[in-house]
Chains A and B, each alone.
Chain A
Amino acid sequence: GQQVMQIPQYQHVQEGEDFTTYCNSSTTLSNIQWYKQRPGGHPVFLIQLVKSGEVKKQKRLTFQFGEAKKNSSLHITATQTTDVGTYFCAGPGANSKLTFGKGITLSVRP
């Protein structure tokens, strides 16, 4: 079945450093979605990318969809303590199933 992979699962950065994480799908995706889950919270939708090569920005966050629509990246410029949390990518598959990666948990040292 479809797999969505996020490696590594944990990353620690110094406040102010940049951070980049990647997401890879075993199949071509019609779109890819990113969610953020704060500790003890629930996933919150961040962005959806649809077009091949699409780039979207949200303040210090930049999201990109790969040309082959099988991978995506999230880049955070000058991380802040408010960026702490787990970032999930998710891709739609058959039978309305949205498949999530395991997520990357970001910690930021002040």
Chain B
Amino acid sequence: DAGVTQSPTHLIKTRGQHVTLRCSPISGHKSVSWYQQVLGQGPQFIFQYYEKEERGRGNFPDRFSARQFPNYSSELNVNALLLGDSALYLCASSLTGTTESFQYFGPGTRLLVL
């Protein structure tokens, strides 16, 4: 079975631009979470979606938004990019989306903001 897939793998943007990152979960998984990982840090929780509903939100500004589609794939949108948004953006899927579910991570999208 295919694992979690993310696109694109790499992206270069300039300050002020907007970016959309995409994620497809493992087949059968209904929950998708997004994380931001800055070099030298652990993944920081951004959003969790389950059955197309937002279930959790981390401490990120309103410039960050996400949604989940009927096929359980997801998009993360970031508006008005700042230099500090440069990071590895990870998508993770899980079966139930409860805190007892462990996460399967995708390969990530490396975003560089210039």
Contact = CB atoms under 8 A, between A and B. Distances in A.
- List the 7 shortest-distance A-B pairs measured between CB atoms, nearest first: A92-B99, A100-B42, A96-B56, A95-B56, A42-B105, A96-B48, A96-B55
A99 B58 CA distance: 10
Nearest to A31: B100
A88 B42 contact: yes
B103 interface: yes
Interface string B52-83: 00011111000000000000000000000000
Interface string B82-98: 00000010100000011
29 contacts: A9-B40, A30-B99, A31-B99, A33-B102, A42-B88, A42-B105, A42-B107, A43-B43, A43-B90, A43-B105, A45-B103, A45-B104, A45-B105, A88-B43, A90-B42, A92-B99, A93-B99, A96-B50, A96-B97, A96-B98, A97-B45, A97-B48, A97-B56, A98-B33, A98-B99, A98-B103, A102-B40, A102-B42, A103-B41
Interface in B99-114: 99-100, 102-108
Interface string A20-62: 0000000000110101000001111100101000000000000
B44 interface: yes
A90 B94 CA distance: 15
